[in-house]
Amino acid sequence: MTVHDPLAAARALRPLVEEHAHSDATPVDHAVTDAFREAGLYGALTPKEVGGLELSLEENLDIIEEISYADGSTGWTYMACATTAAFFGAWCGDEFVREAFADGVPLMAGQLAPNGQATKVIGGYVVNGSFQFGSGIDHASNVGMGFIVTDGDTPPEFRMGVVDKDAVTLTGNWDVMGLRATASYDYRAVDVFVPEAASFGYAAPGSIAPLHRRGGSVYDLGILILTCVGHAAWAIGLARRALDEVRALAPTKHRMGSATVLAESERFLHDYARLEQRARASATRVHQVFREAEEAGELGTADAQLSTEVRSTNAFVTEEAAEIIRACYLLAGTTGLRSGPLERAFRDIHAGTQHAMVNPQHHVEWARSLMA
C-alpha cells in the first residue's frame, strides 16, 4: 500500500490502538499490527530500494511518538520491528534481501546484542545462544540475533544475523511490571544456520557503522544512533499522554481534603506548568539532536562523539519522561491506580528505563568527549 502521509495514517489508527490497549501479558493484538502493515508503516525507516519509505529521522520520531501516545506497548513493538527491518534491509546481502523483502517490508524482531556464539562454515555461520527481550516476536516472521564469530586465530567478529522465526525456540519469561503486551519473550538458537547474506558485521563499539549496501546517508549513522530514534520518540509519546491525561482530569478531580478541583489549585497549576516545560524542552532537544545527526550523515561528518551525544540525549529524555510521568501519577491521586492510559504509561516508562540504551554511562561518555 502506498502511504502519502504516514503520520496521518498513524494518527488515524489511534482509536484502533487504544481499543486494544491493555496492561496484561497478552501480546499486542494482531488486528493492530495488521493495520500498521496495511498502512505501510513498518517501512518508515527502511530503504526505498527494498520497498520502505526511508523517511527522515524527524518524520520517524513523529510516527513513533504518535503510536506510543496511543499505547506504550504498541509503540515499543512497532519501533522494535520497524528498526530491525531497517537494519537488515540496509546492510544485508542482496540474495537475502531479494527474498525477505519480496512481498514488502517483513516484521522482524529480536535481540541484536552479541549473546550468541558462532562458527564460520561454508556459506554462513552456525549460531548457538540464548537471547532476551524479543519485543514484537509474537508478530514477527523473522528473528534477528547478535553473535560473536570465533574462527581459529582470526580475531572475534561481532555480527548480526536474521533467520525465519521457526528456526529458534521461544522460551517465554516475560512476567514483568510494564510493557507486558510487548510479549518480549526470550528465545534460544541451537545450531542455527545463518547465511552470510542474511548477516552483516557490526562496527566497533562507539563507532558509526559498516558501509551500508542500500539507502541514503542516514544509514551511515549506524546502529546506535538509529536505535535511539525509536527509544527517544517512545519516551516523548508516553510523557505527552500522561500530561494530557492529567490535564483532562484537572477540571473535575477533587483530592481528598481539598475544597477545589485541581484546575483551580495554584499549586497544581504551578507544578503542571513546570512539567509541561520539561516535556516540551525534552522533545525539542530530541528533534534538534536528530536533525543535526541527519545533517552530519549527509555531510559525512558523523563521528563517535555524535554517537555519544545522541545516546546521552536518549537516556536523558527517557529519564525525564519517567520523572514527569511519576509526577503526573501523583497529581492524579487514586485515579492513577485505575486501569487506563496513565496507569499504563506509569508501568511502561519504568520498564523502559531499564533498557541498555538508558544506561547512565552514556552521559559519562558524552561528558568525557566534551572535556577532551
Tell me: the pLDDT tens digits for 312-347? 999 999 999 999 999 999 999 999 999 999 999 999
Percent of the chain with pLDDT over 90: 90
Question: pLDDT at position 256, please?
Answer: 77
Tell me what pLDDT residue 221 has: 92
User: Do the Cβ atoms of 351 and 177 come closer than 8 Å?
Assistant: yes
Asked if pLDDT for residue 201 goes beyond 80, the answer is yes
Beta strands in 98-209 (DSSP E): 108-121, 124-134, 142-151, 154-164, 169-172, 185-195, 199-201
**Residue 208 pLDDT > 90:** no
Residue 77, pLDDT above cutoff 90 = yes
d(CA 104, CA 214): 16
CATH number assigned to the domain with residue range 6-100, chosen from the 4 options 3.90.650.10, 1.10.540.10, 3.40.50.10860, 2.60.40.2480: 1.10.540.10
Q: Which amino acid is at 166?
A: D
What is the mean predicted confidence (pLDDT) over 154-159? 89
Domain spans, the chain: 6-100, 108-201, 217-371
Whether the predicted pLDDT of 212 surpasses 90: no
Question: Residue 205 has what pLDDT?
Answer: 42
The predicted model gives 158-171 an average pLDDT of 97
SS3 205: coil
Q: How far is CA 330 from CA 169, 287, 323, 325, in A?
A: 42, 28, 11, 9
Burial label, 308 (beta-carbon count in 10 A; 0-12, 13-18, 19+): buried
Distance in angstroms (rounded) separating the CA atoms of residues 63 and 14? 11
Question: At residue 203, does pLDDT exceed 80?
Answer: no
Distance (Å, whole) CA 165 – CA 289: 35
- For residue range 81-116, list pLDDT tens digits in order: 999 999 999 999 999 999 999 999 999 999 999 999
Question: In which band, very low, low, confident or very high, does the pLDDT at 118 lie, cut at 50, 70 and 90?
Answer: very high
Residue 155: what pLDDT? 86
Q: 217-371: which CATH architecture?
A: Up-down Bundle (1.20)
Q: Is the CB of residue 302 less than 8 Å from the CB of residue 207?
A: no
CA dihedral 157, 160, 163, 165 (to 10 degrees): 120
Check residue 207 and give its pLDDT: 46
What CA dihedral angle connects 246, 64, 343 and 133, to 10 degrees? -160
- pLDDT for residue 79 is more than 50: yes
Residues 6 or more apart in contact with residue 28 via CB below 8 angstroms: 20, 71, 73, 74, 77, 136, 138, 139, 181, 182, 183
Least Cα distance to 146 among 133, 154, 170 occurs for 133
Question: CA triplet 342, 325, 235: central angle to 5 degrees?
Answer: 95
Q: How confident is the model at residue 166 (pLDDT cuts 50, 70, 90)?
A: very high
Distance (Å, whole) CA 60 – CA 57: 5
The CATH fold assigned to 108-201 is Butyryl-CoA Dehydrogenase, subunit A; domain 2 (2.40.110)
Which residue's C-alpha cell is 556464539? 117
- pLDDT at res. 153: 72
The one-character DSSP state at 140 is: -
pLDDT at 1: 46
C-alpha to C-alpha distance for 52 and 218, rounded to whole angstroms: 14
Span 200-227, mean pLDDT? Answer: 78
> For residue 51, what is its C-alpha cell?
520497498
